[in-house]
Amino acid sequence: VKNCPASEHRSFEIRLFSSPNGVQNNNDDWPIRFILSSYYHTHGDLCIPDGKSSCDLCTITCTSCRKPVPYTKAHDSMTCAYTGNGYTRTHRDIAVINAMRAWMHLAPVSGASLGIGHCG
């Protein structure tokens, strides 16, 4: 899911585990499902936030360089999902986590029990 509000992205991830498109039997169809945290291109370009995507560093074919993308650290143990800095961090979203757990027939958990109680 690209270029959509966080609520729509979260809904897509939850649906992946609760009722994905084309699945007739949620217990037996698509036995392997996973999500990856991704990066929203919040700076208006399709560069990655590695700090090296800067027009100042360009030496070849620089006419297409439009906008630099600053370095944004991916891992932050205190960051929650969908904080608006570019990374989705869906693996830190308690609603998505519990949708995965329900699909696996596990009881829901609280954010506090996972060390992300500060994430609402």
Tens digits of residue pLDDT in 54-75: 778 888 888 877 777 778 888 8
Say how far residue 92 (Cα) sits from the centre of its chain. 9
1 has pLDDT over 70: no
pLDDT in tens, 24-61: 999 999 989 988 878 776 656 667 788 777 778 888 88
**End-to-end Cα, the chain, rounded Å:** 22
Q: What is the pLDDT of residue 45?
A: 62
111 has pLDDT over 90: yes
Distance in angstroms (rounded) separating the CA atoms of residues 82 and 62: 32
Q: What is the pLDDT of residue 114?
A: 92
Alpha helices in the chain (DSSP H): 6-18, 94-103
Cβ neighbours, 10 Å, residue 73: 10
Confidence band of 2 (pLDDT split at 50, 70, 90): low
Domain range annotation of the chain: 1-39+74-120, 42-73
Smallest CA-to-CA distance from 75 within 119, 107, 37 is with 37
Q: What is the mean pLDDT of the chain?
A: 85
Is pTM beyond 0.95 here? no
Contacts of 91 (CB under 8 A, 6+ apart): 35, 37, 81, 97
